[in-house]
Structures are given as C-alpha cells and as structure tokens.
Chain A
Amino acid sequence: KNQVEQSPQSLIILEGKNCTLQCNYTVSPFSNLRWYKQDTGRGPVSLTIMTFSENTKSNGRYTATLDADTKQSSLHITASQLSDSASYICVAHYGNNRLAFGKGNQVVVIP
C-alpha cells in the first residue's frame, strides 16, 4: 500500500532552537519526495524536492535528507522562528504523478 508515516505528530520548540521531523514512506514506483509547509487555514506550499539520487537539499533554514534505501526522509529546521509554526507534510510522489501524503508534523514555536 502506498503510504507515508510521519513522526512526531506534534512538537513544541523554543524560538531559536532546532528540530528534526521524520518521514517514512512506502510507495512504488518512487519518483520524488517533497516536504510541504501548511500554515493554518492555507494550502500546502512546497519547501523542497528530492529525487532518488539526492541525499540532502536545503532551502534557507530548512534542510531535507533522503535515504532511498531505508525509505526515510527528514526535515531539519535550524534556528526556528515564530513563523515556522505550521504543519509540515511529507509527500511521496510515485507512478504517474500520484501523491501519497503524510498526516503532517504539527510544529509550534514559542517565544
């Protein structure tokens, strides 16, 4: 079954601290993996994309990793800001542009 699991479900971090979000996926045939940020009441916005051959990709303070052998990905947020409070959704692309969504990691950054 094509699915994506994320952990932790939610976390609270202090402003300025780092955090890492985890994603495990089982899709076939795998195409690429994206992390999306979904602010409350908004649609998801793509942060990073990683293909099979890429191990790490950065977008500002966001760094994603991908281990295609273990089918795991992580999203690291450096020096968190209050505006980082959001749901971070791991999405595995497979087949003919089909998407398998994770449930999201709910991040709350507090001052």
Chain B
Amino acid sequence: EPEVTQTPSHQVTQMGQEVILRCVPISNHLYFYWYRQILGQKVEFLVSFYNNEISEKSEIFDDQFSVERPDGSNFTLKIRSTKLEDSAMYFCAARGGMGNQPQHFGDGTRLSIL
C-alpha cells in the first residue's frame, strides 16, 4: 500500500534555529495535514491544506509556523525560531477526496530542540 513518507526521521536543532520538515503524500491525495504529538500526550491538529492553501489551522499554528507545497509533491512544515516546547513528533497525513476516506499518516519526524 502506498505510504506517506516523512523526512528526516529525527531532527536535532538548536533553539532559535529554523527547521523544515518534509512530507511526500500519496500521489492522488488532495488533502494534507500536519499534526504534532508531544511525548506522552495526545496527537494535536496543527493545519490542513487543500488546493495549495491552508483550509484550517489550530491555535497552535501561529506565525512561527508555515506550510507549503512547493513542487506539487512535497508538503513541508517550516518552524521559524524554534523553541524548546516545539520538541515533539510531527506527523504528516493525507487523504483522498471522498468524504469518509481515512487520513494516511506518515511515520513522523521526531524534532528535538536543544
């Protein structure tokens, strides 16, 4: 079964630096999502993306965050000026256009801010 691929699997970054997390969704999927999971806590919604623009975002997704799909395949999450509390697993998900299609998750990027 086609997979959602995320890179890198683990990113270690100094506080204040910028990071870009990358995702390659399944090719025929139309809706894209980013989630994060702080260690020991629930998965939290960050942002949804459709038709090359943000369709919805949570209160977590502030000006520090941005998403884009620069080349029609990669879907990226950029975090500017990282903070210690940004340390978490970041999951990308994608789904097709039909209403009850499941979101397919990547295996995540573990982001560690030092």
| A positions within 8 Å CB-CB of B | 32, 34, 36, 41-46, 49, 51, 89, 96-99, 101-104
Contact = CB atoms under 8 A, between A and B. Distances in A.
Nearest to A45: B105
B45 A43 contact: no
A97 B107 contact: no
Do most interface residues of chain A lie in helix, strand or loop, or is the interface mixed?
strand
B60 to A, nearest CB: 13
A36 B102 CA distance: 10
A102 B105 CA distance: 16
B59 to A, nearest CB: 13
Contact of A44 (B44, B95, B105): B105
Interface of B: 4, 6, 31, 41-45, 48, 55-56, 91, 93, 95, 100, 102-108
Nearest to A89: B43
A97 B103 CA distance: 10
A102 B100 contact: no
A101 B108 contact: no
